[in-house]
Each structure stands twice: as C-alpha cells, then as structure tokens.
Structure 1
Amino acid sequence: MKLRILLLIAFFTLTACKREQKKSASEPVSISNHVHFTEEKGALQIRSGNFNYNFKENQLPFKKIILLNASMTGYITELGSENLIVGVASPEYIYSEKIQKLLKEGKIQNVGNEQKYDVEKIISLQPDAIFTNHIASFDNTYKLLKDNGIQVIFLDEYLEQNPLEKAAYIKLFGKLFGKNEKATAVYEEISKNYQDLKQLAAKAKEKPTVLANEMYGDVWYLPGGKTSLAHFISDANAHYILKNNTEEKAVTMSFEEVFAKAGQVRYWINAGNHPSKKEMLTMNPVYSKLPVFNNGKIYVVTGKEKGKANDYFESGVVRSDLVLKDYIKIFHPELLPDYHLTYMKELQ
C-alpha cells in the first residue's frame, strides 16, 4: 500500500512538472518593457514596441540578414554571426574588423545610408530579414520592402535605458539565429560581470561628483537622470549632477546652469570625441571657466575609434560590463589597479 501511494505521488509530481513546463514554454520572455517574445509549438512571436512579428518554425533560423543600424552589429559580432550579414547601411560607421573584411571581399554589400537606401539592391539580396530602428520618414520604403516579401524588424534598442536590458537583446538575436544557448551564456556572463563590478564599486570610500556630455552651440545636452549613462554613473558609485532628474532623454541646459551645478565636479565623462583639451577650448572657450576643466579629469569615448566608427556605440551596446568597468576605473582607479580602459580615453 505504501509503495502504491509513493508511486501515485511520483506520478502526480511528474505530471505537474510537465504541465508547468508546457505552461512556461508559452509564457513571454521579457527583454525589457519594450521587447518580449513567446515560443509556442516551434513558432516565435515577438513584440517590439508597437510592432508584432510572428515567425513559423520553417522561417527560422535566419540565413541572410541586412543591418541598417551600426549599433546592432555588436549583437551579431558577439554571437559570431557576421557570416549571416549580406548587406549593411553606412559601413563607414561600423567598427568590426571582420565585417569590414567581408565588405572588402564583396560578401557584404553597401545598401545605402540613413538619407537614402538602395531599395533595388536590398531586394536583389533577398534577405530573410532587415533589422533597423523605426524612422517614420522611411515608412514608404519599409512598405515597398514588405511588398516585395522582405521582413523588416524594428528593434529600437536605443530607447533602452537599463544597460543590462539593452544587453539582453542578444537573447532575441540568439533565438532568431538558432544560437539560443550561446546567446544565453553570453548574456549571463555579462550580467554576472556587471553585478560583480557593481558590488566592487560599492566598496569605494569616496563618491566623486560627475559631469557628462558637452555643449553644441550654446546648449549643453546632459543625460537625463534615468538614462543609461546616469545608470552607469550610479552603478559605478559616483554622484551625477542630475541624479535626481527623472528624464530618460537628454536635458538641455545653458552653460550658466551647468556652471552653477559643476563646482564640485571631479570627473567629466563622455565629453565628445575631442583629441585634446586645447582643441576643446578652440571649439568652446567657455569650458576654461569650469573647475573640472582646469583641476579635474576629462574623458572622451575614443578608446576604440577608427575614422567615423566607434566601438563604444557598437560592442559597447552589448558589453555593458566593460563600459561599467571603464567608469569604475575612472572614478575609483584603486579598485582596478591592473585594468586598462577599453572604450574611454583621458584627455591631456
């Protein structure tokens, strides 16, 4: 009797587990508030912002893709899927050496730029999908491509303000490319590194004040207090001058307004792509009035730059752990004595 009871318990436990597995298989996998996907019976359903996509089992994985935004190449290179790319727009903005090599070999075609795409060439390449950010002025182009049987997928990853959520897009690319296990492993490593670095930064004895970005004309465009850069500064255990701001976009201020807040600033980060402090003054002489310009440290995002291409906006989109590591090295160099900056460079 006892054996029969145990067998019944085991049976119901296994049945419950199977039901739970079946249920979880159809539950949405959330990348962020903007993007999630669901798998069911081999099909993949994606919601990205206001757009929905449904791919049947026989449509995946993709074999040929086109990228219209350089920022998405970071996901592709992290997965080692450069060979899937048959076309890119504005190749001069792409940092990846392998993609540049494939361009020179003619295996990847230039399909235009953000002013005008070569629709005929795109159609002739017959990609399984095109990845891009949605630009309303190109809606007629998108419609023409769709009418020719080309799937256009809008992934506005630039809207993501949580660094790890932006990195998590790699899991969606993994699903679409048949590299789910690799994508999950890459993301989990990035996430673990990020959390470990955040804990390391919390051990710092001081919390320096930080200024970010620069002026264009008479206006200073500072990252809002809820932007990804503000998150990085906070996670690197530093004090951002607009930390109490609630914007997820740039905040415009006059030089006088910034000057009033910048008296205690010790670090000025993401100060454009200037080659020197002297050149900064040539562009905008008022910078010399800032205490941080004269007595602090200024960093630009040109540590990995080639011509118009900058890897901070490419692999840095995915490798949020390395970006955070750079900021920790800047604000708390004693915590990472043997680390050399990846994306940042100090101005002299």
Structure 2
Amino acid sequence: MTARGRLRSLLALLGITALILTGCGTTSDDPGRPRTCVDDYSAGTDYFPDKATVDYAQNFTLDYHPNYVVLTVRQPFPGGSPESYALVRCGTPAPELTGDLAGAQTIEVPVQTVYSGSTTQLPWFTELGVLDALTGAADTSMISNQQVRDRVSEGKVTEYATGATVDTERVLAARPDVVLTDGTENGAYPVLRRAGIPVVAVADWLESSPLAIAEWIKVLGVLTDTSAKAEEVFSGIAERYNDLAAKARGAAVTDLLYGADFQGTWTVPGADSSSGRLITDAGGRWPWSDRAGNSVQLSFEEVVDRAGDVPIWLVSDNQWTSIADVLKVDPRYRNLAAVSSGQVWNANLAMGPTGGNDFFESGSARPDLVLADTVAILHPELLPDHEFVYYRRLAR
C-alpha cells in the first residue's frame, strides 16, 4: 500500500473524509456526481474494465490503455482537424503525451459536472442515469425533457449560451469538468481551454446514419464511467432499429416527400444523409435520393414539378397542426397530392412547454422510435397498433 493509501486508511478509521487528498469525490455541498477515484494506484492494472465498442460511428474512436482512454474526434466541426483527448482515471498519473497526442487535452474521469452544448445530448444523461452530472445547458428555452426542465427550475442547470454566444465569464466562474460542444467551433472554446476547462467536440451530426449518431452516447459513457450502461442502452436501440428495418425491407417501397420550403429554398436529404438512410430503412423512397451529399437545395417549382404526385409528405414544422396551417403559409402547397389527400405528417407531436420540439431533442438519440413512426406512416399494415411518439397526421 502506498503512503497515500495508508494515510487514507488511517483517516477513515478516525472518521475523517480524505477526499481532499486527491480532489476526487464530492461533499454534500458540491454539485454533480460523486467521483470514484483510485485510492492505491498500481501500474499495469486495467482501470477501465468496462470498454465501449464503436460499431457504427465513423467520427470518433476510443483507444484504451490501462489507466486512460484516448478519445479522438476525427472531424470536430465541418472542415476541422482531428482532436484527441486523454481521459485519465481519477487518482492515477496522467500519461506523457507525445507524437500525435502532444498537446491533447487531459481530462480526469469520471467527470462530475458537464456543460452540454446541444439539446440533442440531453437524452444521454437520462438514459445513463447521470442527470445529476448535467450542470449547464447552452440554451434552456428549447428543452423538452421535463426532468431536465425541473433541474433548470431548481437552479441545478445553468444556461450559459444563447444563439452562438457563449457566456465565457459564466463558464469560467462555474469551472465545469468538461464542456461538450454542439459540433461547431466557437471563439469562446480556445479561451476556456487556456483557462484549463476541457472542451470536448461532439460532432455526431456529421455522421451519415441514425445509429452512428445515436452511438455517441458512448462518449458520455466513458466520461461518466457508465460505459456498461451505454453499451446496454445502445445495444437495445440498435437491435430494435435493425429489427424494424428488416421488417420494412419485406414491404413494397413507398414514395414520399420530405422537408418544406423555407425562405425560397426547399431542402431534401441527399443520398449520404442520416435522414435519407432512415427513410430507406423504413421502406421509403424520395425524389433526389440518387443525389450524393447530405442535402439537396431546390426551388418550390422544382419540388412540385418532380414530386407533386408523391402520396405522402413528411415535415418537421413546429407550428403546423392542420392542412389549413400549411395553406396559410403558402397556397402553392395545394399543388401537392399529399395535401389534397390529407397525407401530411408533421414531427411536432411531442412539444415542450416553451416551444422545444422533442423530435429535435431525443429523436437523434432514439432513432428506433423515429424509425417506428416512419414505418407506421409508410407501411401501417406492419405496425397496426403503433402509438406515435414524434409524428402526427395533420387535421384536414
């Protein structure tokens, strides 16, 4: 036993908490999760027995070592160079980082306090049972999850950014263990890094499949020492998703239209997009599915000319609840067959009390639920008793 270990044992016998020796753990007044640190470090011991595997995601990797994990995000934001992070088990020595890892941020794990840069990350905290680690959210106004909203109301989650403006002083004052980005680069991040606050890029939205995006829950799993739970949660999601996709493959392909006009531009998925992949997995087909890339920008006229006869239309507009709402925005929508037949479906069934849409919050974390809704729309015979989570059919 090391001197530190012997001293800890002595203090424990005396009834004195020894957390101050390493800075690990929390007192009753500390926010966040209790941190489990190593009391008696032994070189060569595997301090990460629960290891996450990355099966679908292409934009992050995990490289395990006895007392630390190297997390690498290949593209932290569009056009960005790879970033690596050494996630070191609390109470063990930080590794000497050389070569490609020289200059990588070092983060003690498990982290106790996390500032989240996107509402799409919030479901991870509830799914992993680590909601107490969430102490900051970029913009709280669009949060749908009631558990998270309760923490905001109780003052346990701080809002630290609105729009693209990060309140740097607020983050510096709080000194969270880690800040998760929203997959973009912000001028505040270098300032936070220089001040010793780790900033980890979460660029899940750059993945090209729904399951790849959902697999980013494993990043939070490593950070919070809940990798076993992350594996369990994601395995269930992937199994349900793949089972539904297999069922849909046995049905005839259904044509659909996706998206809507916004300020003169109608954006539809490209062949390489995650939303396009989900449509295909649901047994659907959309015009322009042969166009490479993540998205295709079109004019209203182009859409009507090529997709006017498509029988089903999927949208994600927060305001529309009826066909009348659609026509009020633009009477030209009347030229779509789906409008005439009343087959317009909007992903705004689950709305938060202040306007947040849960489709954009939990939808990326639960592609199995989004796929089930989509299959039920395109092939109702496959899921006759389905209860919709995100989509609703607009009233006529």
With the length of structure 1 as denominator, give the TM-score of the two structures: 0.88
Q: Does 1:180 align with 2:235?
A: no
Q: Does 1:202 align with 2:243?
A: no
Q: 1:98 to 1:333 in 2, by over 3 A?
A: same
Q: 1:320 to 1:29 in 2, by over 3 A?
A: closer
Residue of structure 2 in register with 1:147 after alignment: 194
Q: Determine helix, strand or coil for the equivalent of 2:161.
A: coil
Aligned partner of 2:357 among 295, 310, 318: 310
Distance in 1 between residues matched to 2:380 and 2:179, nearest whole Å: 42
Q: 1:282 to 1:29 in 2, by over 3 A?
A: closer
Residue of structure 1 in register with 2:86 after alignment: 54
Of stretches 181-190 and 221-230 in structure 1, the one that deviates more from structure 2 is: 221-230
Alpha-carbon offset, residue 29 of structure 1: 4.4
Residue of structure 2 in register with 1:67 after alignment: 116
Give yes or no for contact 1:79–1:174 (8 Å, CA) kept in 2: yes
Residue of structure 1 in register with 2:135 after alignment: 86
Distance in 1 between residues matched to 2:192 and 2:128, nearest whole Å: 27
Q: Determine helix, strand or coil for the equivalent of 1:175.
A: helix
Q: Does 1:285 align with 2:331?
A: yes
Distance in 2 between residues matched to 1:280 and 1:108, nearest whole Å: 37
Q: Does 1:112 align with 2:161?
A: yes
Distance in 2 between residues matched to 1:40 and 1:29, nearest whole Å: 16
Give yes or no for contact 1:60–1:178 (8 Å, CA) kept in 2: yes
Q: 1:304 to 1:253 in 2, by over 3 A?
A: same
Residue of structure 2 in register with 1:38 after alignment: 63
Distance in 2 between residues matched to 1:27 and 1:102, nearest whole Å: 29
Q: Determine helix, strand or coil for the equivalent of 2:58.
A: coil
Alpha-carbon offset, residue 31 of structure 1: 5.2
Residue of structure 2 in register with 1:272 after alignment: 317
Alpha-carbon offset, residue 218 of structure 1: 2.0
Give yes or no for contact 2:179–2:199 (8 Å, CA) kept in 1: yes
Q: Does 1:103 align with 2:148?
A: no
Give yes or no for contact 2:311–2:343 (8 Å, CA) kept in 1: yes
Give yes or no for contact 1:208–1:265 (8 Å, CA) kept in 2: no
Alpha-carbon offset, residue 337 of structure 1: 1.0
Structure 1 residues 228-287: Cα deviation after superposition (integer angstroms, max 9, x where no partner): 111111101122112211112x21111221112214411101242212211111111110
Aligned partner of 1:212 among 228, 252, 258: 258
Residue of structure 2 in register with 1:5 after alignment: none
Structure 1 residues 98-145: Cα deviation after superposition (integer angstroms, max 9, x where no partner): 111011111111213123222222112121100012434x22x11211
Which consecutive unaligned segments of at least 5 residues does structure 1 have? 1-20
Alpha-carbon offset, residue 164 of structure 1: 0.7
Aligned partner of 2:299 among 254, 279, 298: 254
Letter of the 1:169 counterpart: W
Q: Does 1:342 align with 2:367?
A: no
Q: 1:339 to 1:27 in 2, by over 3 A?
A: closer
Distance in 2 between residues matched to 1:30 and 1:60, nearest whole Å: 23
Alpha-carbon offset, residue 30 of structure 1: 5.8
Of stretches 259-268 and 187-196 in structure 1, the one that deviates more from structure 2 is: 259-268
Identity %: 27
Letter of the 1:328 counterpart: V
Distance in 2 between residues matched to 1:103 and 1:219, nearest whole Å: 36
Letter of the 1:57 counterpart: R
Distance in 2 between residues matched to 1:56 and 1:301, nearest whole Å: 41
Give yes or no for contact 2:136–2:158 (8 Å, CA) kept in 1: yes
Cα RMSD, aligned residues only: 2.0
Structure 1 residues 45-99: Cα deviation after superposition (integer angstroms, max 9, x where no partner): 0111221111222211111110121111122221121110111111011111111
Which consecutive unaligned segments of at least 5 residues does structure 2 have? 1-45, 76-81, 91-107
Structure-to-structure mapping, 1:211-250, within 5 angstroms: 211-248=257-294, 250=295
Structure-to-structure mapping, 1:294-305, within 5 angstroms: 294-305=340-351
Structure 1 residues 4-28: Cα deviation after superposition (integer angstroms, max 9, x where no partner): xxxxxxxxxxxxxxxxx9xxx9998
Residue of structure 1 in register with 2:205 after alignment: 158
Give yes or no for contact 1:74–1:316 (8 Å, CA) kept in 2: no
Give yes or no for contact 1:74–1:317 (8 Å, CA) kept in 2: no
Give yes or no for contact 2:71–2:85 (8 Å, CA) kept in 1: yes
With the length of structure 2 as denominator, give the TM-score of the two structures: 0.77
Distance in 1 between residues matched to 2:212 and 2:223, nearest whole Å: 18
- Structure whose residues are more often helix by fraction: 1
Alpha-carbon offset, residue 294 of structure 1: 0.6
Letter of the 1:84 counterpart: A
Residue of structure 1 in register with 2:32 after alignment: none
Q: Determine helix, strand or coil for the equivalent of 2:162.
A: coil
Letter of the 1:333 counterpart: P
Q: 1:44 to 1:31 in 2, by over 3 A?
A: farther
Matched residue count: 322
